[in-house]
Structure 1
Amino acid sequence: MATLVERERKYSGDAEFRLPDLTGCGGVATMSDATTLDLDAVYLDTADLRLARSGFALRRRTGGHDAGWHLKVGAAGGARTEYQFPAAPDEVDPPPQLVTLFRAASRGGTVAPAARIVTRRRERRLLDGAGRPLAEVAEDSVEAQDLVSGERQAWHEIEVELVDGDEALLDAVEARLREAGARPVPVSKSHRALGTRLAAARSAAPDPGVAPVLDYATAQRDVLIANHPGAWSGDEEAVHDVRVAVRRLRSTLRTFRGLWDRRESESLRAELRWLGGQLGPVRDSQVMAARLAGAVRAEPDELVLGPVAARIAERFAADLAVALAELRTALDSDRYADLLRRLDALLEGPTARTVDARWVARRVRRAVTRADDRLDRALAGATDDAALHEARKAHKRARYAVEVREPAAGRPAARLVTRLKELQDFLGAHQDSVVTRDVLRRQALRAFADGENAFTYGVLHARQAAAADRDLPGLLRARDRVRQRKVRRWLAE
């Protein structure tokens, strides 16, 4: 299976539109002669168009230089990840490798033909002075049919896709195309073909009072779906983003728990905790491996005794392999698909009660106050590592609660979010030190048992303890900054 990142922009023009000369745009020296291609693609989706609604496009295409199965992930107009897989003759079902990647978007449901798009394409390459291709420009005459409703459409479209060029080239080409009468198109061909059914599938707008909470939670649900392929592959950024989205969802269901049936929301929080438990070992292994590798590199050579770096790499490579296999099993499971379907029902269905902005604001204030109390108890008397960890989690919940109000409250809320993030970072650094010291202690015991020198692990352990002590004054300053009256005054409004 081939994987590539597609960076393209789309435009439409009326019947009189003609592609202008694009030489001089962002280093373009010449335009190649046009090549004509005939493309025929059948797009598949669930009955309720979950793939399209989640920013996924699954198609089987014939014609062109990349005929076969394609899965695109991401919104049109930005960078999209495309997975390509060969198609056998007369194959109608997508290969299991692709099914795995869109399982979250389909909620585990089956897919069937949803639209057919036939394109006559005139393609040119934009070349620099050395003949290097910077981008491809395609003029597409499109005929589309919704295979369920029977609705037909036809239009003319221009696509500009980067090859070795950059965003500045796309900007320059866009300016030239606009001058010639082209207009940006914000949706993909498949979305346009399915536009009527997609509009009908959209959920009704929620009541204004609850809208900020539902919008925030829905955005986190969408992060889960969008990052599913990357998380399944073990991509560090995708695993991190999914893990944070899970935390935000669990926190939102807790902070605003009165909005939904209590039994269902608590059950979903438990399922999200299970999912977070599958993500944690993968992300922790990735982070700890990088953290310790950097710590070893920072030590003078004379303090690194024995194969310390190699042992750390071996240990976390093995841990990561096991954790990733378990995560893939979870993401492929019916349990995960059911979690997503239940989350859809919770976020897209009616709430258990009608609330106003004041109700939301009170719960945000309560989350911030609870975080204050947790930290005060943790700092009372001797510093308690476990209590500081609980304070860190409370401040995450407080930050996520404030983020719910950020779109409406604007800069005051954004400033409090920033201050909470600063404090959370200090608490996080302390917890990282606690966890790292425990890992180093166990690594030292393992080295000793294997007859290796454990000296370096002790050095690294001492440095982690010293760093935790040095962070305490910064933590206190961050606590005071987050509690300044001018930062919190808006919370009472």
Structure 2
Amino acid sequence: MPHLEVERKYDVEPDFVLPDLSSVPGAASVDEPVEHELDATYYDTDELHLSRHGVTLRRRTGGHDAGWHLKRPAGAGGAPEHHGARTELRAPLDEGERAEPAEPPASFADELRALTRGHPLRPVAGIRTRRLDRVLRSDSGRALAEVSDDHVTAHTYGDTVTTSEWREVEVELVEGSADLLDAAERLLLDAGARPAAFGSKLARTLDLRRAGATRTGRPAGRTRSGPGSDEERAWSAVATYIADQRDAIITLDPGVRHGDPEAVHKLRVACRRLRSTLRTFRPFLDRARTDPLGVELRWLAGELGLLRDSQVQAERLRAAIEAEPTELVIGPVERRIGDHFATEAGQARQRVAEALDSPRYSALLDSLDALVEATAGQEAAAAELRKRARKALRRVDRRLDRAAALSTRPAATPSVIPPLPGVVRDRTTALHEARKAAKRARYAAEALTAVGGKDARRLVKDLKRLQTVLGAHQDSVVARQTLREVGVRAHLDHENAFTYGLLHAREQAAAERVLADLPAVERTIRRKKARRWLG
């Protein structure tokens, strides 16, 4: 299981005097210092793919946690004290020790494939640390935090070798709170420490060789509602949103490879968010770059969609069969439907695996890195960005109006839901188009929450409700199509198809019930109050 590392780092002068840590509020005692000699070799590609994304991979001897360590940014969200936190995976030293130099464990190499993209990992830096650890404890003896006073000597590998020395202090939470971290920080800053200029020892070491060895292309700061002009905050919010989705794809990649259904879903959503954002804010982007990228994102989302849809429908119909009285389930219904989805999901998993191992996927990730770098330094008028979001919202209105104008009589389940070439002739398709428009408007509002604040967040919530209602309806459409196809095959094999028809009818009734919530959701979205932040 990954370990969550929550720590803060400080630069100090060589003659820095560590203050009395027992004066930190909440700390009842401080252990005597324990000295460790740590020797670490850091691995990366020649292009520093890991370092540029804030990821470190090392083999370290000495200390209480000797072994292989893989550290990655923990990501956005979570508790405030987890801002800047990293997740850490560990493996024993004997993994990968047969090669010289030692090779990283295969499990770690698999975790990093979305970053290495076929490039080999090799040693890029060596860091030796003389560490004095002090543990802060509570009244009951619980370890609250560990304060490490590090004297560091580092050198790079490669054609040009550079060496540097410095001293730094780390405070890592064990069972303490964010308040304790804040209190320790005040004490250290008052004593002359400074917030560290680099997020890790490796970042500091590699900066001596190649400037910018930090997270690829991210905007200078995460924009929420902080200082800066409206224009600065608006575009920075969009650029950060794009970078967040790129990071999500890379972070979720291992989970998809391991078959985690939730990772499949979230990675697909990240692709959709990116593609939608590129379309909504197209006038402010380089279309020579973003149009081909949109095609590739659609390809990847499509491959993931085959697997995700199969997983969702399999669970939906399994639950529907279980809910029926035994006497109404006639014939091998559950087995036949299970076999249908097992075959479908197996083929879809194979396609996803081939996609993630393909040069096309690596090229897509490279293009996303380039996009993030290109958008980080751009500017755009906040009013124009709002205008694009407003346009996306009006598209939702038109799609909903079209659905309402069509007959309320349920149309026959189509074999394929067509796109919107011009005139939509049935309500089912119109509702599906309204759902897609709602997603696009929601993602536009998400990207601009830094300037829209509370009103924007409320609109996002309302659009999500609309998306949920329309999504439940669409799930029923797909379920009915599956039931019809499997039921026909059962009939042709001389099985009783009664249960398939029964389930089909129940799905149709469920679809109409869920649409009963649609008018209220529509009224919420159409309120002027919900849109006032858009101008």
After TM superposition, the score normalised by the length of structure 2 is 0.76
Matched, 1:157 2:157: no
Seq. identity, %: 43
| Cα 1:305–1:328 shift into 2, 3 Å | same
Instruction: Please state whether the residue corresponding to 2:167 is helix, strand or coil.
Output: strand
Q: Which runs of 5+ in 1 are unaligned?
A: none
Matched, 1:408 2:451: yes
Do the aligned residues in 2 keep the contact of 1:61 with 1:69 (CA within 8 Å)?
yes
Matched, 1:337 2:362: yes
Matches of 2:469 and 2:109, distance apart in 1: 41
- Compute the displacement of 1:138 (Å): 7.5
| Cα 1:303–1:324 shift into 2, 3 Å | same
Q: Report the equivalent of 1:53.
A: 52
Instruction: Please state whether the residue corresponding to 1:87 is helix, strand or coil.
Output: coil
Q: Report the equivalent of 1:6.
A: 3
| Cα 1:328–1:230 shift into 2, 3 Å | same
- Compute the displacement of 1:396 (Å): 0.7
Do the aligned residues in 2 keep the contact of 1:68 with 1:87 (CA within 8 Å)?
no
Matches of 1:329 and 1:264, distance apart in 2: 25
After superposition, what is the alpha-carbon deviation per residue over 1:248-274, rounded to whole angstroms, capped at 9, x for unaligned? 111111112122333332111101111
Matches of 1:352 and 1:157, distance apart in 2: 32
Instruction: Please state whether the residue corresponding to 2:402 is helix, strand or coil.
Output: helix
Q: Report the equivalent of 1:62.
A: 61
- Compute the displacement of 1:465 (Å): 0.7
Matched, 1:16 2:23: no
2:237 to 209, 212, 220: 212
The 5 Å alignment of 1:6-405 reads 6-11=3-8, 15-17=17-19, 38-63=37-62, 68-75=67-74, 78=85, 80=87, 82=89, 84=91, 86-89=95-98, 90-94=100-104, 97-119=107-129, 139=148, 141=150, 143-147=152-156, 149-161=162-174, 170=177, 174=181, 187-191=199-203, 193-194=205-206, 199=212, 203=217, 208=232, 210-349=235-374, 355-383=380-408, 384-405=427-448
After superposition, what is the alpha-carbon deviation per residue over 1:92-121, rounded to whole angstroms, capped at 9, x for unaligned? 444554333222223544444333233456
Matches of 1:469 and 1:204, distance apart in 2: 45
- Compute the displacement of 1:388 (Å): 1.4
Matches of 2:316 and 2:525, distance apart in 1: 28
- Compute the displacement of 1:62 (Å): 3.4
* Letter of the structure 1 residue corresponding to residue 5 of structure 2: E
2:484 to 441, 444, 447: 441
Matches of 1:332 and 1:81, distance apart in 2: 25
Do the aligned residues in 1 keep the contact of 2:303 with 2:355 (CA within 8 Å)?
yes
Q: Report the equivalent of 1:467.
A: 510
Matches of 1:308 and 1:138, distance apart in 2: 62
* Letter of the structure 1 residue corresponding to residue 2 of structure 2: V
Q: Report the equivalent of 1:421.
A: 464
Matches of 1:300 and 1:281, distance apart in 2: 31
Do the aligned residues in 2 keep the contact of 1:20 with 1:177 (CA within 8 Å)?
no
* Letter of the structure 2 residue corresponding to residue 428 of structure 1: G
* Letter of the structure 1 residue corresponding to residue 438 of structure 2: H
Matches of 1:155 and 1:351, distance apart in 2: 30
| Cα 1:200–1:135 shift into 2, 3 Å | closer
After superposition, what is the alpha-carbon deviation per residue over 1:320-353, rounded to whole angstroms, capped at 9, x for unaligned? 3332232122112211111121222233227999
Q: Report the equivalent of 2:500.
A: 457
- Compute the displacement of 1:430 (Å): 0.7
Do the aligned residues in 2 keep the contact of 1:144 with 1:193 (CA within 8 Å)?
no
Please identify, of 272-281 and 448-457, the stretch whose mean Cα deviation from structure 2 is larger: 448-457
Matches of 1:352 and 1:117, distance apart in 2: 33
* Letter of the structure 1 residue corresponding to residue 4 of structure 2: R
- Compute the displacement of 1:83 (Å): 5.8
Matches of 2:131 and 2:239, distance apart in 1: 42
Matches of 1:227 and 1:274, distance apart in 2: 17
After superposition, what is the alpha-carbon deviation per residue over 1:208-258, rounded to whole angstroms, capped at 9, x for unaligned? 364333222122112111222222222222222211110011111111212
Matches of 1:262 and 1:331, distance apart in 2: 25
Matches of 1:74 and 1:452, distance apart in 2: 55
* Letter of the structure 1 residue corresponding to residue 502 of structure 2: V
Q: CA RMSD in A?
A: 4.0
- Compute the displacement of 1:316 (Å): 3.3
After TM superposition, the score normalised by the length of structure 1 is 0.82
- Compute the displacement of 1:380 (Å): 1.4
Matches of 1:416 and 1:314, distance apart in 2: 42
Please identify, of 399-408 and 315-324, the stretch whose mean Cα deviation from structure 2 is larger: 315-324
| Cα 1:402–1:422 shift into 2, 3 Å | same
Do the aligned residues in 1 keep the contact of 2:256 with 2:263 (CA within 8 Å)?
yes
After superposition, what is the alpha-carbon deviation per residue over 1:44-70, rounded to whole angstroms, capped at 9, x for unaligned? 224554323323222223346765544
How many corresponding residue pairs?
Answer: 479
* Letter of the structure 1 residue corresponding to residue 509 of structure 2: A
Do the aligned residues in 2 keep the contact of 1:74 with 1:226 (CA within 8 Å)?
no
- Compute the displacement of 1:376 (Å): 1.4
| Cα 1:464–1:15 shift into 2, 3 Å | farther
* Letter of the structure 2 residue corresponding to residue 82 of structure 1: L
Do the aligned residues in 1 keep the contact of 2:147 with 2:169 (CA within 8 Å)?
no
Q: Which runs of 5+ in 2 are unaligned?
A: 11-15, 75-82, 221-230, 409-426
Matches of 1:358 and 1:490, distance apart in 2: 10
Matches of 1:155 and 1:457, distance apart in 2: 68
Matches of 1:77 and 1:354, distance apart in 2: 26
Instruction: Please state whether the residue corresponding to 1:415 is helix, strand or coil.
Output: helix
* Letter of the structure 2 residue corresponding to residue 73 of structure 1: R
Do the aligned residues in 1 keep the contact of 2:445 with 2:456 (CA within 8 Å)?
yes
Instruction: Please state whether the residue corresponding to 2:163 is helix, strand or coil.
Output: coil
Matches of 1:477 and 1:12, distance apart in 2: 51
